Structure formats: structure tokens, C-alpha cells
Structure 1
Amino acid sequence: MSFVESEERRALRESVAALGAKYGHEYYVRKARAGEETTELWAGAGELGFLSVNLPERYGGGGGGIGDLAAVLEELAAAGSPLLMLVVSPAICGSIIARFGTEAQREYWLRRFADGSAKMAFAITEPDAGSNAHRLTTIGRRDGGGWVLNGRKVFISAVEEADAVMVVGRTADAATGRLRPSLFIVPTDAPGFSRTPIAMEIVSPERQSMLYFDDVRLPGDALVGDEDAGLLQLFTGLNPERIMAAAFATGIARYALDRAVAYAKDRQVWDVPIGAHQGLAHPLARIKIELEQARLMSQKAAWLYDAGDDAAAGEAANMAKYAAAEVAAAAVDQAVQTLGGNGLTTEYGLGTLVGAVRLSRIAPVSREMILNYVAQHSLGLPRSY
């Protein structure tokens, strides 16, 4: 692992930043408040190959790793347009299908992810089980050569944009009858599938939904991977999810810090810029330090994942997500404080980020569950739950 990114990675960041600058935060907020999708930005990213930098070249991707895709998301977020669907479609679903999907699934879905013509949502969370894969009540049962899926999911992102949803359910082990996690691709127009939007106090183009699966009939090839692989397949997607969530958060932190620093340099009180006062300078400096620490941990997690070290990547990805979410929340809060009343005006574009960074501390995995993970797996303490 190098602490200096490659020329290719730096060039990728510059190109993505240039695209992001054409749209920016005003575009993002305008789309969100109008209930519209960020279609133009997504299409532009697809045309330039940014949506698929992590996917195999054989299927139209860039042949890179999750670190490259994380760089794409971070730069777009730093430009004010943090596209949440990048976490889901090419990162979670793309990683799982690339590694465990059939050749037909790879040909169909990865090529469409690559050019931006298709999106896939991801559904694990349930009202009573959260994201505990051992307690999920969405069940897939064999029916001849196919499957029948029943259950419900909650807080599922961007289903309104998606062509299909990768659903984490459970299937019965033929030998023992015990239920184990399994993954299904469910078209959003499948009979028996429905959704209800969840009203949220968050400014985001991607909506949240409650999903219902009522005797949804699926063909046999709707199953992704092997029934026996269970959690292995699931964590192939969840580690990239945490790495991408960290990129989402560090990008927002960069956006907020840049706005605060620019204001602190320009705004003058008593004939000097307010950034000359330690009461503002030190908190911003502390944010910069914590931001770079979070970025380093995120890059380490991506490097470990791309190197195939799933166990070490899991620990690092959790730590990266924790650190990134914490600094994002602190950065937005300090940026608002630095700007004073201007921090909550529409003109400066910081108030719209308050909910987003608060959500980063909750999803896709809460800070408390990450602390549980680190306490148990990194420190060897007794399991607390």
C-alpha cells in the first residue's frame, strides 16, 4: 500500500471533480426539492466511464477496484453532489454479481451498470430485524424450478430509480431445514412487488421506501450465487458498502470544510479575517486533521478489499465508515458555526447537509454496531449482544 495515490487515480479524481463542478450543490438540491432524479449527472458519469471503474473490463467496466469507485463518489460529494446510488448499484450489487453471479447475470447487469442504463437497489433492512441477516423474515421458498418470495423491507434507497432490487432473504437448507441468507434479483415491475415512500426530513434526490413482497414469483436464475455461500456473498457487498459510505461522508466533509475556510478567509470583523482568530482557526484545523485520518483509513480499507483480504478489509471498512461519519458531522456543524447565520441560508448550501451527515452516523451501519464489532473482533472483548 502506498500513501501516495497513483497517477491514474489522481487523474481520475481530477476528471470526476471537473464533471462535478459542472453541476454542483445547487443542481443537487434543486433536483431533490423538485422530487427529480439526478439523471443528467448520472448519464454524464456513465458516458465518461466513472460508474463502472471497479467492474471487470470484460463487461464494459474499467477493471479497477473499489478504491477507484470510492474516489469517484468522494469527488462528486466534494463538489456538492453526493450520489447515494453509487454506493448501491455499482458497489454493492456490482461487486456481488461480478464475484458470484452467473455469466448471464454478469453480461446483463454489469454491462448496464457500466453505461448507466440500469440501476439496482439493495434491500436488507427490515422493520423488526434491522440488518441482522440471521433474523430476517423475508423468505424465498422453492416452487418447482423457481422461487416465491414473501416479506418486507424498510429504509431502502432509490427504488424509484431502480430497474431491480437485490433482496437479502433467507432460504431453507435442504438437509437441515434451517434458514440461511440468500440473495435474489427482483425486477421492480414484478407482480406482487410494491413499495410505499417514507417521508424524510433529508434533502436528497434519492428517496426511502418500504418494500412489500407478496408471493413474488421469480425464475430459478433470480438467485445470485450459491445457496450454501450465505454470509460470504453478503459481505462481499457490505464491505464495499462501508467503504463507499466513508467516501460519501469524507466528500461531504471536504465540501463543508472548503466552504468554511473560504468564508473565514474572506469575512472580516475588526479589520482582520475571522479565520485569524484561534476560536475559529483551531476547530477548522482539527477537522482537517480528522478528515485526513478518515481518508487514510478509507484508502486502507479499499486497498485491503481490492487485495482480496476480506477479513482485514471488514475491520478497516468499519473503522473507516465510523471515522468518516464522525468527521462529516463535525465538519458540517463547524462550517455552519463559522458562517453564523449565513451557514443556514440557501445561498451557502450547508444547511441542506445537516440531515445527510447525521444519517451517515446511522446508516448503512450505526456507530454503535461498529463499536460492538471493534470491541469484539479487534479487542477480543466478550460479545455484548
Structure 2
Amino acid sequence: MNYTESVERRALRAAVADLGARYGQRYFLDKARTGGKTTELWAEAGKLGYLGVAVPEEFGGGGGGIGDLAAVCEELAATGCPLLLMVVSPAICATVIARFGTDEQKQRWLPGFAEGTTTMAFAITEPDAGSNAHELATSVRRDGTDWVLNGGKYYISGVDEADAVLVVARHVDENGQRLLPSLMIVPTDAPGFTFQPIEMDIVSPEKQFTCFFDDVRLPSDALVGAPDAGLAQIFAGLNPERIMAASFSTGMARFALDKATAYARTRSVWGTPIGAHQGIAHPLAQCAMQLELARLMTQKAAALYDAGQDKAAGEAANIAKYAAAEACAATVDQAIQVHGGNGIASEYGLGALLTASRVSRIAPVSREMILNFVAQHTLKLPRSY
């Protein structure tokens, strides 16, 4: 196993970092606080091919893997521009369609993913089921050649920016029996589909929504893959989601650590930089080590996924997501502490990261569910939930 990235991956990181630096956190926060969107950054990243690095070449993408896309996500976050929709649209939705979509679906959607002109949200979470696909109430049934979708989802990211939503729904047969989950592509302008924002105490241009599906009629080609293979298809998208979430977190942590170390080098008290004191230096060194370990685990997870080792990748992706979230929360907290009162001043841009870093321990899967997964599948302990 290589512990260093390829020359091409490092060049990709450098190019994306240059792009992110031209926009920076001030751009990101201004958009978030004024109700705007990061449209210009997203469009330029798409035009340069960064959003489509993992889309197959035959559809206009870079032909790379999830590791390449995760590198893009991390580098943008490290410049103060963490784009949440990168975790969803090109990672989950494009991956699922590339692996399981029909030829027509691939031709319809993948070129747009490749150039960043298509955005798709992903909807699995429900109030009474969380992300437990076995307990989902949203249903889809056949009506002639069409599909009819009913139910609701919540905490769905970026619906207002999306062209469509990839919805997880339980298939209902002609006898009313609920079968395995199915994946449906639902245009955001489909009759019967409505959504409303959820007020959140997080500074981000990308919003969360509750979605409602009331007899939403969809054509036969809205189904992705087989109606009884939804679980396998879901996890083909959720493992990349965890890898991308880990990179999202490590990017934010890098941004916070850079801020903290720069401040510790230049802020002097009684003629000495505060970074010269072990009470400041040692906690920052611990954050740096925790962050680097999380990045290494994320790279391992991506390498396993790109190598087609789905089972091993699932375990690694969960561990990476856990490690990255813990590193991010700890690093942002320490960076604020190093700055003292300045840590929550808007000028320094750290207070805005506090809620976002805390969310990383909750979504897209909670730290407790990852601990359950590792206990059960890695340690072979009895299931606890």
C-alpha cells in the first residue's frame, strides 16, 4: 500500500487549493449570511473539471475515483469554502447512477455531473426512521407504466439548488406489501413534490429541508437499478458519502489549525509569542497528529473503495468518518481557545465553524452508530441496537 499520494493527486490538490484561495472564507460567509449561494465557485470548479473528477471519461468526467473527489472536497474546505453539496451530488448521486443507472440515465445525468451544471440532492432520512432503510415509510408503487411516490423526508441538503432528488422509498407491490427500498430520481419541479426549509443555527449557504411527496407521478425510467436491489445500491452511495464527509471534516480542521498556528506564532504576550508556551503548543500538536491520522484513514477508505473492495471499504469509511469528525471538533475548539476572545469574533472566522464542526459528529451518520458498527462487525460483539 502506498502511503503517499500520486503526483497527479498532489497536482489536483494544489490546483483546487489555488481556486479555493481565490474565493476564500470571506466569500463563503458573505454568501451564507446574506442568503446567497456559492454559485460562482461551484460553476468554476465544474468548468475546470474538479467536480467531475470521479465521473467516467465516456461521460465527460475525469475517470478518477472517490479519492480524487475527496481531495477536491478537502482542499476547498481547507481554504474556508466547505461545499456540502459535494458530499451529496457528485459523490452519492453520480456514483449510484454511474454504477446502477440505465444507459439512458447515464447519458441524461452524468455529463451534467461532470461539468457541474447538474446538481442532485439525496433523500433517505425520515423523522421516525433516521437512516434506517428497513423502517422507511416513504413508498413507491406501480400505476400502469408510471410510479407513484408518497411520503416525506427531512434534513435533506440543498434541495433548493438541485435539479432533482434521488429518493429512497420502500417498494409496494400490487398486494400492498412493503418490499425492499428502491431509488427514484425525482425532479424538484415534479407536481406533488414540495419542500420547506428547516431553520438551522449553522452558517452555511446550503440549507436543510423537509420534503413532502403527495402522489408524485414519475415515469418508468425514474427508477435507478432494480426495485429489489435498493439496499446494495444505497450503500454503494453511502460509503462514498462517509469518505467525502471525512474529507469535508479534515478540510475544515486544516483551516482551523492553520488559523490557530498563525495566531500562536504572531500573537505576543510579555514579549513572547504564545506558541512558545507548551500550554498552547502541545494541544495544537495533538490536533495536528489527530488530523493527520484521520486523513490517512480517509485515504485508505478511498483506496479500498476505488479498488472495488466494498466490504473493507465500508468498515474503513465508517472509521474515517468517525476519526475525521472527532479531529475536526477538537481542532476547531482548540483553535478558538488559542484565540481567546478573538476566537468568537467575526473577523477571525472561527466562530462560524463551531456549529459546523459539531455537526460533523452527528451527520451523515452519528458517532454512536459508527461505534455500533465497529463493535458488531469488526469486534464481532452482539448487536446492541
TM-score by length of 1: 0.99
RMSD between aligned residues:
1.0
Task: Say whether residues 1:329 and 2:346 are aligned partners.
Answer: no
Q: Which secondary structure state, in structure 1, belongs to the residue aligned with residue 365 of structure 2?
A: coil
| C-alpha deviation, 1:179, in angstroms | 1.6
The answer to whether the aligner puts 1:253 opposite 2:253 as a matched pair is yes
Amino acid at match of 1:234: I
Contact 2:74–2:251 (8 Å) recurs in 1: yes
CA contact (8 A) 2:185 2:224 kept: yes
Partner of 1:90: 90
Q: Which moved more, 1:174-183 or 1:371-380?
A: 174-183
Mapping for residues 1-385 of structure 1, pairs under 5 Å: 1-172=1-172, 177-385=177-385
Q: Secondary structure at 1:74's aligned position in 2?
A: helix
**For 1:134, what is the secondary structure of its paired residue?**
helix
1:173 to partner: Cα distance: 5.5
Whether contact under 8 Å (1:173, 1:180) holds in the other structure is no
Cα gap change, 1:165 to 1:176, in 2 (>3 Å): closer
Structure 1 residue matching 2:46: 3-state secondary structure: helix
- Counting aligned pairs with the same residue, the percent is 69
Q: Displacement, 1:270?
A: 1.6
Counterpart amino acid of residue 334 in structure 1: Q
Q: Secondary structure at the match of 1:50?
A: coil
Residues 175 and 309 of structure 1, relative CA distance in 2, 3 Å threshold: farther
Whether the 8 Å CA contact 2:25–2:80 is kept in 1: the answer is yes
Q: Which runs of 5 or more structure 2 residues have no equivalent in the other structure?
A: none
Whole-angstrom distance in 1 between the partners of 2:355 and 2:106: 36
Specify the code of the residue in structure 2 equivalent to 1:250: T
* Cα shift readout 1:281-314 (whole Å, capped 9, x = no counterpart): 0000000000000000000000000000000000
Amino acid aligned to 1:80: G
Q: Given residue 300 of structure 2, which amino acid in structure 1 is its aligned partner?
A: K
Q: What 5-or-longer segments of structure 1 have no aligned partner?
A: none
CA distance in 1, matches of 2:158, 2:258: 28
- Give SS of 2:346's match: coil
Q: Deviations over 1:74-109 (max 9, x none)?
A: 000000000001011110001000000011111111
Deviation at 1:252, TM superposition (A): 0.2
Q: How far apart, in 2, do the equivalents of 1:57 and 1:174 lie?
A: 40
| Partner-residue secondary structure (3-state), 1:347 | helix
User: CA offsets, 1:128-183, max 9 Å, x none?
Assistant: 11110000000000000110000000000000000000000010367994421110
- Partners of 1:235 and 1:153 lie apart in 2 by 18
Q: Within 2, Cα distance between the matches of 1:160 and 1:134? A: 28
Q: Supply the distance in 2 between the matched residues of 1:117 and 1:247 (Cα, whole angstroms).
A: 23
Q: State the one-letter code of the partner of 1:135.
A: E
Alignment partner of 2:133: what SS?
A: coil
- The amino acid across from 2:365 in the alignment is V
- Partner AA of 1:115 in structure 2: E
Secondary structure of the corresponding residue to residue 52 of structure 1? coil
Provide Cα deviations, 1:313-344, integer angstroms capped at 9, x if missing partner.
Answer: 00000000000000100000000000001111
Please give the alpha-carbon distance, in whole angstroms, between the structure 1 residues aligned to 2:160 and 2:261: 37
Task: Give the Cα separation in 2 of the matches to 1:43 and 1:192.
Answer: 30
Alpha-carbon distance in 2 for matches of 1:85, 1:161: 9
Amino acid at match of 1:114: A
Task: State the alpha-carbon separation in 1 of the partners of residues 203 and 121 from structure 2.
Answer: 19
Task: Report the alpha carbon displacement of residue 228 of structure 1 after superposing the two structures with TM.
Answer: 2.3
2:155 match: secondary structure: strand
Indicate conservation of the 8 Å contact 1:89/1:119, yes or no: yes
* Letter aligned with residue 181 of structure 2: P
Question: Structure 2 counterpart of 1:131, which letter?
Answer: S
The separation in 2 between residues aligned to 1:340 and 1:218, in whole angstroms, is 55
